[in-house]
Amino acid sequence: MPLALELDSVDFAYEHGPPVLRDVSFEVEAGEFVAIAGPNGGGKTTLLRLALGLARPTRGRVQLFGEPADRFRDRARLGYLSQRAQLGVQAPATVREVVSAGRAARNAFGRLTAEDREAIDQAMERVGLADLARRPLSRLSGGQQQRAFIAKALVSGPQLLALDEPTAGVDVEAQEALSGLLARLNDELGVTILYVSHEFGAIEHVVRRLVLVRGGIVFDGPPSSLPGVWHDPSHVHV
């Protein structure tokens, strides 16, 4: 399978700060569903930002679909659910308006075309929010808001979907619904998924690969091979 993402001997530190990541190397094949977990401050969000070309490594190389991540041009191939997305709406944006915003990756300056509208309808349908298209986000549950932002990330037809702490502030039922939705997207559309969270319990039964990050990669393999101590909620990684 071709590589969706490749990090080769990557170091990263913020300006005047200590190293956040050291000597990180790993590859993600197109179509993989990878959970990236680790303690808060362990560098997993930084790793995601490097992968998406939002930050440049201080050493090493990051490639997205074979191109340097920070110069990657075809960005409609990327879908992203940011950690703070749900907080970004001050006005009463509806589900349709939020999802439409994701379409700007393909058509930022013109009017919405028939193709755009069809993609928006499909994305809302896929996450089960078609009936709530005109509902303001502020009147939805945390899980529904999160699905609206996933639809926004999907609407440009991405080949790589990156989610940063998608289960923050969401109840257990919604977390399970999310893991089912992501598994379907991965199976049916072949979308490569990077799922970043400090907590991986909700997702470990659907991912085939788990990467634990704490300043570097401390585990990379199937969740079933993970040493038992990492499943202990009292362990220092949480």
Partner 1 sequence: MFEFEFMRLAFAAGAIVGLLAPVVGFFLVQRQMSLIGDGIGHVAFAGVAAGYLIGVSPVWTALVAAIVGAAAIEWLRAHRTAAGDQALALVFYSGIAGGVVLISAAGALNANLFAYLFGSILTVTRAELLRIALLGLGALLLVAILLRALLAVAIDEEGARVSGLPVAFLNGAVSMLAALTIGISMRIVGILLIAALMVLPVIAAQRVAWSLRSTMGLSISIGLGSVLAGLTASYYLNMPPGGAIVLTAAATFVVAAGLETLRRRV
Told to check if 193 binds partner 1 by CB under 8 A, we report no
Helix axis angle for 142-154 and 172-184, nearest 10°, is 20
Told to check if 189 binds partner 1 by CB under 8 A, we report no
Q: Among 16, 17, 18, 73, indicate the residue that binds partner 1 (CB under 8 A).
A: 73
Q: Cβ closer to partner 1: 6 or 97?
A: 97
SS3 letters across the chain: CCEEEEEEEEEEECCCCCEEEEEEEEEEECCCEEEEECCCCCCHHHHHHHHCCCCCCCEEEEEECCEEHHHCCCHHHEEEECCCHHHHCCCCCEHHHHHHHHHHHCCCCCCCCHHHHHHHHHHHHHCCCHHHCCCEHHHCCHHHHHHHHHHHHHCCCCCEEEEECCCCCCCHHHHHHHHHHHHHHHHHHCCEEEEEECCCCCCCCCCCEEEEECCCEEEEECHHHCCHHHHCCCCCCC
Told to check if 75 binds partner 1 by CB under 8 A, we report yes
User: Interacting stretch for partner 1, rule CB under 8 A, among 19-27, 91-99, 205-213, 227-235?
Assistant: 91-99
Residue 205 CB, nearest distance to partner 1 (Å)? 28
User: Interacting stretch for partner 1, rule CB under 8 A, among 151-159, 178-186, 191-199, 210-218?
Assistant: 151-159
Told to check if 80 binds partner 1 by CB under 8 A, we report yes
Q: Among 2, 16, 17, 134, indicate the residue that binds partner 1 (CB under 8 A).
A: 134
Told to check if 192 binds partner 1 by CB under 8 A, we report no
Residues 152-171 vs partner 1: string with x where CB under 8 A? xx--x-----x---------
Residues between 26 and 65 that touch partner 1 (CB under 8 A): 52, 54
Residues 93-122 vs partner 1: string with x where CB under 8 A? xx--xx-xxx-xx-xxxx-x----------
Told to check if 76 binds partner 1 by CB under 8 A, we report yes
> Whose CA is closest to 7, among 51, 67, 72, 41?
51
Q: Cβ closer to partner 1: 81 or 140?
A: 81
Helix axis angle for 142-154 and 114-126, nearest 10°, is 140
Told to check if 89 binds partner 1 by CB under 8 A, we report yes
Structure-block tokens of residue 19: 């190293």
List contacts with partner 1 (CB under 8 A). Answer: 52, 54, 73, 75-76, 78, 80-82, 84-85, 88-94, 97-98, 100-102, 104-105, 107-110, 112, 134, 136, 149, 152-153, 156, 162
